């Protein structure tokens, strides 16, 4: 249940969040995409199929391609079968199942323009369908090749964010912390982070979301090679100044994160986003170390399995805290 803490907020409200105060639910999903559903236009105008295919996971992308390939060939196989197998030479006519299997593989050979030659169309209708299928196959494989190249060559940050944020001790005070780390061998430099928060408050009995910029202890680093723990110290100008553990639990809070870095290989700027809601903030905890030297002290091991590991700890008392 959300509670109003407008009287505790000492930092100026920010208006450049891109979201309205009456928005509901999570603003940014864990995958970094806005939690927005659009209406008023049909699905073909609402979705960019190119962006959708690029953003799919590799497994889903390959699954869609295989399923589409099978369905297209099934459709053409049924068309050939309805035209009549007598219009195709080389068909095994021992039983209907073998006929359909031969027709299906003839369709796949025509669609891919392989054309082994054992089966061939006879007559105008079958030849017309085969010609159209070969043309459709050329277009389809051109699109699939473009999608493969787009997915392979698209600049991405390849950052992994911790699933949780913590309220941890920091310089005799308290701080909100989360961390991130690169998980591929791409070289990222000049990385900077922008952090803001949405806090639901009660004004005149009506819940609304106020957005605030969060100052970070370090907002830019030269090279992002190891993990980066982003720290927002909870001082008097912080919107979380005076928040207790119950306040963090009972208030609708979302921490919105955007990281930008320069990828040296692509010579391009890459961006990745994430967010943390109240249920993902652990109060009174600190992250455990996730990198260490190897046994020969010749290199550093970055253990990405430890990105979410934390230890419970006591927090120092601070002025303005109501615990």
Tokens of 312: 């419970």
Summarised one tens digit per residue, pLDDT across range 163-215 is 999 999 998 899 999 999 999 988 899 999 999 999 987 777 777 888 999 99
Among 27-41, 100-114, 154-168, 211-225, where is mean pLDDT lowest? 27-41
pLDDT of res. 38: 77
Tokens at 218, concatenated: 């370090």
Average pLDDT over every residue of 215-235: 94
Structural domain boundaries in the chain = 6-30+163-312, 43-153
- CATH for 6-30+163-312 is 2.60.40.1400
Q: Which of residues 253 and 47 earns the better pLDDT score? A: 253
Least confident of 57-66, 137-146, 260-269, 314-323: 314-323
For every residue of 161-230, DSSP letters joined together read E-S-EEEEEETTEEEEEEEEEE-SS--EEEEEEEEEEEEEEEETTEEEEEEEEE--S--EEEE--S-EEE
pLDDT at res. 318: 65
More confident site: 119 or 37 = 119
* Distance of alpha carbon 323 from alpha carbon 58, whole angstroms: 48
Establish whether domains 6-30+163-312 and 43-153 are of one fold.
Answer: no
Give the SS3 label for residue 99.
helix
Yes or no: domain 43-153 corresponds to CATH 1.10.287.70: yes
DSSP state of 250: H
- pLDDT tens per residue, range 77-112: 999 999 998 899 988 888 889 899 999 999 999 999
Say what the pTM is: 0.78
Q: Of 163, 131, 184, which Cα lies nearest the Cα of 282?
A: 163
Average pLDDT over residues 5-34: 64
Residue 120 tokens read as 């061939």
Average pLDDT, the chain: 87
């Amino acid at each position: 249940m959300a509670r109003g803490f407008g009287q505790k907020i000492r930092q100026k409200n920010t208006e450049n969040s891109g979201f309205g105060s009456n928005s509901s639910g999570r603003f940014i999903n864990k995958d970094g995409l806005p939690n927005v559903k659009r209406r008023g236009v049909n699905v073909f105008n609402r979705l960019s199929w190119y962006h959708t295919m690029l953003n799919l996971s590799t497994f889903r992308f390959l699954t869609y391609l295989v399923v589409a390939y099978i369905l297209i060939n099934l459709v053409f196989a049924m068309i050939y079968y309805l035209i009549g197998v007598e219009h195709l030479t080389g068909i095994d006519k021992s039983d209907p199942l073998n006929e359909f299997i031969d027709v299906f593989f003839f369709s796949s050979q025509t669609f891919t323009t392989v054309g082994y030659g054992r089966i061939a169309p006879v007559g105008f209708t079958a030849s017309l369908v085969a010609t159209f299928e070969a043309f459709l196959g050329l277009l389809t494989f051109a699109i699939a090749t473009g999608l493969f190249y787009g997915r392979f060559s698209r600049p991405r940050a390849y950052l992994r964010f911790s699933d949780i944020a913590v309220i941890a001790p920091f310089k005799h005070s308290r701080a909100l912390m989360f961390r991130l780390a690169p998980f591929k061998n791409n070289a990222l430099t000049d990385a900077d982070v922008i952090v803001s928060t949405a806090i639901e408050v009660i004004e005149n009995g009506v819940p609304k979301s106020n957005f605030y910029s969060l100052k970070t202890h370090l907002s830019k680093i030269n090279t992002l090679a190891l993990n980066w723990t982003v720290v927002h110290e909870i001082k008097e100008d912080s919107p979380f100044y005076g928040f207790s553990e119950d306040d963090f639990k009972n208030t609708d809070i979302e921490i919105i994160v955007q990281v930008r870095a320069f990828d040296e290989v692509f010579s391009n700027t890459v961006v990745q986003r994430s967010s943390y809601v109240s249920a993902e903030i652990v109060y009174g905890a600190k992250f455990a170390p996730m990198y260490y030297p190897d046994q020969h002290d010749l290199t550093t091991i970055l253990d990405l399995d430890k990105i979410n590991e934390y230890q419970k700890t006591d927090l120092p008392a601070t002025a303005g805290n109501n615990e």
